[in-house]
Amino acid sequence: MRAPFGARVTEAVAAHGPLCVGIDPHASLLEQWGLPVDATGLERFAMTCVEALAGEVAVVKPQSAFFEAHGSAGVAVLERVVAGFRDTGTLVLLDVKRGDIGSTMAAYAQAYLGEGSPLAADAVTISPYLGFGSLTPALDLAERTGRGVFVLALTSNKEGPQVQRARDENGVTVAQAMVDEAAARNAGASPVGPVGLVIGATVGATELDLSKLNGMILAPGFGAQGAGVADLASVFGPVRERVLPSSSRDILRHGPDVGTLRSAALLVRDSVS
C-alpha cells in the first residue's frame, strides 16, 4: 500500500521545492524542438522531459489532450510517461479535467486512479461542474489507492467567471462552494488531504476563504501566461505554502537539450521556493 497522497506530495515538495512542470507537447513546441508533429516526435519530446525532470521537481503535469490528439499511439506514449516517472520522487499529476456522472465517472476514475491501469497517475484534475457529488467515484477511489485529485475551482479563462463567480441565494460563489466541499473531504487528514484545488495564478483577487482547505492548490499560469512570484503572494496570501505554481512553455521552450531543459526547470523551481 502506498502512503496517502497528502503525505507523498508534502514529501516531494520538501525534497524538490514547490513547482509543477507542465508537459504540453503541442505542435508548435514539437516544431520548435525540430521534431515531426506525429507520434514519433511526441515520444521523443515526452521522453526527453522524463529524462530532464525525473527526480528534479516535485510534480509534473502531462496534458492528456496533446497525447490523445495522436490517437492510440499518443496514448501509448502517455502511458510511458506515467511509467517513466514512477519511483523517481517526482509525482505525476495527469491533467485530464474529467467530470461525468454515475458509472461513467467511475470508469474515468478507474482509468486514471485505479490499481493496474497503465494510465493511473499520482493525481488527476477533475471538473465539478456537474455538481461536486458527481465526483464521488473519483474521490473515493483516490482515497482508497493513496492518490489525489485536483478539483477545478477558479480558472483563468475569460469564460470561467460566468459559472465560477456566480452566487447562490446566500451570496456564496460557486467557486467557494467547491472549496468548502473539498475542505469537508480533507477534514482531519494530516499533513494534508487528498483533495486539492485548481486556482489560476492570474485570476487576481479570488474572494475565496481557503483557510480550511487542508489541501494543495495547483496554480497554472505561472511564467509565460503572465503570473510571477508576487502574484502567488497576492492571490494566495496565507495559504501560499500549499501552492504548486505550474509552468509549461516557459520551461519547455528550452528543449530539446536535456541539460538545458533541466537547468531551466531548476531555475524556475528555485525562484518559487
Active site residues: 97
Q: Rounded to an integer, what distance in angstroms lies between the CA atom of residue 11 and that of residue 89?
A: 9
Q: All 3 cell numbers of residue 85?
A: 516517472
Query: Residue 172, Cβ neighbours under 10 Å: how many?
Result: 14
Query: Residue 163, Cβ neighbours under 10 Å: how many?
Result: 13
Q: All 3 cell numbers of residue 126?
A: 477533475
Q: How far is CA 103 from the centre of its chain?
A: 24
Q: All 3 cell numbers of residue 39?
A: 507520434
Helix (H) or strand (E) holding 126: strand 123-126
Q: How far is CA 112 from the centre of its chain?
A: 13
Q: All 3 cell numbers of residue 158?
A: 475569460
Sorted by sequence, the CB contacts under 8 Å of residue 98 that are 6+ apart come out as 105, 108, 112, 124, 125, 126, 127, 138
- Residue 19 vs residues 162, 220, 269: alpha-carbon distances, Å: 29, 10, 6
Q: Rounded to an integer, what distance in angstroms lies between the CA atom of residue 13 and that of residue 18?
A: 5
Q: Rounded to an integer, what distance in angstroms lies between the CA atom of residue 11 and that of residue 17?
A: 10
Residue (of 248, 262, 193) closest to 220 by Cα position? 248
Reported as half-sphere exposure (CB side, CA atoms, 13 A), residue 13 has a value of 22
